[in-house]
Amino acid sequence: MRIALDAMGGDDAPGEIIAGVFESLEFLDPDDQLILVGQEKEIKSHIPLLAKRKKMVSIVDAPEIIGMNEKPIESLRKKVKSSISVLAKLAKQGKADAVISAGNTGACVAAFQMRMRNLPGVNRPGISVVLPTFKGPVTICDVGANIACKPINLYQYAVMAGIQSEFLLGVKKPRIGLMSIGEEDAKGNEIVKKAREMLKSDPNINFIGNIEGSDIFEGVCDVAVCEGFVGNVILKMAEGLVKGLFQSIKHELMQEKLRLALKFKPVMMRIYKKYDYNEYGGAPLLGVNGTALICHGSSKAKTIKNAVLNAKKYSNNQINEKITEYLSNSAIRNSDEQGS
Amino acid sequence: MRIALDAMGGDDAPGEIIAGVFESLEFLDPDDQLILVGQEKEIKSHIPLLAKRKKMVSIVDAPEIIGMNEKPIESLRKKVKSSISVLAKLAKQGKADAVISAGNTGACVAAFQMRMRNLPGVNRPGISVVLPTFKGPVTICDVGANIACKPINLYQYAVMAGIQSEFLLGVKKPRIGLMSIGEEDAKGNEIVKKAREMLKSDPNINFIGNIEGSDIFEGVCDVAVCEGFVGNVILKMAEGLVKGLFQSIKHELMQEKLRLALKFKPVMMRIYKKYDYNEYGGAPLLGVNGTALICHGSSKAKTIKNAVLNAKKYSNNQINEKITEYLSNSAIRNSDEQGS
């Protein structure tokens, strides 16, 4: 399998990206290929050992870089030789079987959608993140690919993230919840209400109904479906809150007794490790016709290694084929003629 | 001042509500009046000491109760003698200067809006909650009153919650952030983008721009403005995540050593106390023509006591007068003829 990686994307690129690629090698098959896309000279300066591994790792030059805070569409138009643009082109031309980037999320979504197109039957792709919680991992889709969400999109996110949960995480008959502001049928905005009807009418979905913000951490569902704006807020809020709470605990412990703080440290580290999202290595952009994983901007080598392994698993488990088959058999289609 | 309370609303009503009312008495002025609205017999059975305080506490009978999970509009129509309906009527008839309920939020919002009407210049009221964070309290508006939000609503939430932050919490020139999915101008959905332009064009608002989910806990803003759906998810998620994380820490500590867990307990209790939302006693429904506070369903006596004091402060500080004056001087009006 040929997996192309954005060597220039992320807060710690290219160092951590390249390190992650090399960490992943021992877990791959001999005929797997990893393609580092980015500024060739810069990449080479980070790989003193490339010669030894050259059979598995290659470089495709992409002289331009899209910054983390650049406007997605504009930057893609201006920088056709950026690593993200080149990555998307490799996928389109069939020169890469999977693409991975920890760069500008908006630019990745736009480039991958534009070049790879959607899977048959899919109206809009969604980013599907696995969030580790105290009651097990919860898959959340969408977390920001689509901020003009329609009911059919939410229905398809449920289908796609359900397949991801079952075949990537091994959850049998994943329980699917629809993010809303109350459990009853009557609650939620119009889009959520319509999506709820669609989900209820599909007997093959293990739909548990509306969920609320607190339910994500209560172990009531394996998949949480929501529009991209809401999902993005959830994801970023979880990060900020956990970070803040740990800082606060540390502060209080230091006030109490330094020795107590030191004793507590390994406990905190264990919790951090247990609920480390880096373990899940990248979020698939579900619904594009190919394998595309988007990683957190702060990704370290471990995240990238896990993303590479995740891309293989995604492909080996034929997630896209399962999504296409499911949607081709589903009676639920977009009834809204106006849009996708 | 006459403050009417829903004696039947909340998970621990009427016990905790009545206890809260009596706890608040010592902080009130001699001519203040507290009115308990609910099933008279039930209320009386909880007040053996009522006789002693009867000058300050009275009862208004409301034989029906709207359950926490009943459909708001439907239940208000069916139960005209419910405590929430009677509460709203007291406000409308000028028999109460403020109303407080920990009951069904949707029913409270609908009843208060319908009976009390909006302040001049306000298009849609919003619930404004103070969330304690590690970097200080953040006021979030709206957290669920309005789930069909328009740009003008977001602008007015900024104005109203800003005044609340300044005159109830004492924050000078509160920094106001607009919840979105990225910091740049170009990010966010159409409603957020338009609201952003409105906020930028008002020189009297200390607008810091877009914020993300993580920023709420980073101390970058004093007020976070968002649509009700998003705000509701934020609020519930914060509750669920903090609870889950504390359970998880406890679990890990127990694995480690029971003695360590015991030592950690007072630290956890201190953090709990420091970031206890009950301190802020009820969230004002900003924009209605009167003083209406909505409390969490799990409110205890302390929350209710603080809500009573908060209602006094809200009224004494003339929050509504300040909102009306601000909006009457603002050049920013609803340009969308279609809606509110």
Q: How far apart are CA B209 and CA A209, in angstroms?
A: 35
User: Contact A240/B213, CB-based, under 8 Å?
Assistant: yes
Query: In Å, how far is A240's CA from the nearest CA of chain B?
Result: 4
Asked whether residue B336 carries a pLDDT value surpassing 80, the answer given is no
Mean pLDDT within A234-241: 89
Domain range A1-122+287-317, CATH architecture: 3-Layer(aba) Sandwich (3.40)
Query: In Å, how far is A256's CA from the nearest CA of chain B?
Result: 8
Asked whether residue A1 carries a pLDDT value surpassing 80, the answer given is yes
Predicted local distance difference test score (pLDDT) of residue A338? 41
Q: Does domain B123-281 have CATH number 3.40.50.970?
A: no
Answer whether A1-122+287-317 and A123-281 agree in fold. yes
Average pLDDT, chain A: 91
In which band, very low, low, confident or very high, does the pLDDT at B53 lie, cut at 50, 70 and 90? Answer: low
Predicted local distance difference test score (pLDDT) of residue A55? 82
Q: How far apart are CA A202 and CA B297, in angstroms?
A: 34
Asked whether residue A10 carries a pLDDT value surpassing 70, the answer given is yes
Asked whether residue B228 carries a pLDDT value surpassing 90, the answer given is yes
Query: Looking at per-residue confidence, does B258 or A321 come out higher?
Result: A321
Asked whether residue A245 carries a pLDDT value surpassing 90, the answer given is no
Predicted local distance difference test score (pLDDT) of residue B50? 54
Taking contacts as CB-CB distances below 8 angstroms, the residues of chain B near A275 are 248
In which band, very low, low, confident or very high, does the pLDDT at A125 lie, cut at 50, 70 and 90? Answer: very high
Identify the CATH homologous superfamily for domain B1-122+287-318: Isopropylmalate Dehydrogenase (3.40.718.10)
User: Contact A212/B232, CB-based, under 8 Å?
Assistant: yes
Query: Looking at per-residue confidence, does B244 or B297 come out higher?
Result: B297
User: Contact A252/B229, CB-based, under 8 Å?
Assistant: no
Q: Which of B183, B229, B274 sits opposite A181 (nearest CB)?
A: B229
Q: Report the percentage of chain A scoring pLDDT > 70.
A: 95
User: A–B: how many Cβ contacts below 8 A?
Assistant: 170
For chain B, domain boundaries: 1-122+287-318, 123-281
In which band, very low, low, confident or very high, does the pLDDT at A184 lie, cut at 50, 70 and 90? Answer: low
Taking contacts as CB-CB distances below 8 angstroms, the residues of chain A near B241 are 214, 216-217, 238, 241-242
Taking contacts as CB-CB distances below 8 angstroms, the residues of chain B near A106 are 182, 187
User: Contact A71/B267, CB-based, under 8 Å?
Assistant: no
Contacts of A154 (CB under 8 A, 6+ apart): A178, A191, A192, A195, A198, A199, A225, A226, A227
- Give the strand pairing for A126-131 and A283-286: antiparallel
User: Contact B218/A234, CB-based, under 8 Å?
Assistant: no
In which band, very low, low, confident or very high, does the pLDDT at B88 lie, cut at 50, 70 and 90? Answer: very high
Q: How far apart are CA A110 and CA B130, in angstroms?
A: 37
Taking contacts as CB-CB distances below 8 angstroms, the residues of chain B near A190 are 148
Nearest CA in chain B to A255: B267
Mean pLDDT within B30-55: 84
Burial A110-146 (b: 16+ CB within 10 A, else e): bbbbebbeebebbbbbbbbbbbbbbbebbbbbbbbbb
**ipTM for the assembly:** 0.89
Mean pLDDT within B98-102: 98
User: Contact A236/B214, CB-based, under 8 Å?
Assistant: yes
Q: Which of A134, A181, A266 sits opposite B248 (nearest CB)?
A: A134
Q: Which of B214, B249, B275 sits opposite A271 (nearest CB)?
A: B249
Q: pTM of the full predicted structure? A: 0.92
Task: Flag the least confident range among A198-202, A242-246, A317-321.
Answer: A242-246
What Cα–Cα distance (Å) separates residue B298 from each residue in A175, A280, B101, B304? 27, 35, 11, 11
Nearest CA in chain B to A186: B71
Mean pLDDT within B282-293: 97
Place of tokens 């809020």: A237
* Residues β-bridged to residue A6: A37
pLDDT digits (tens, 9 = 90+) for B135-155: 889 999 999 999 889 999 999
In which band, very low, low, confident or very high, does the pLDDT at B262 lie, cut at 50, 70 and 90? Answer: confident
Mean pLDDT within B244-254: 81
Nearest CA in chain B to A135: B244
Mean pLDDT within B161-187: 90
CB atoms within 10 A of CB A226: 29
Contacts of B318 (CB under 8 A, 6+ apart): B167
Task: Pick the residue of B245, B251, B254, B273 with the most A CBs within 10 A to test the interface with A by mutation.
Answer: B245
Taking contacts as CB-CB distances below 8 angstroms, the residues of chain A near B217 are 237, 240-241, 243-244
3-state secondary structure of B99: strand
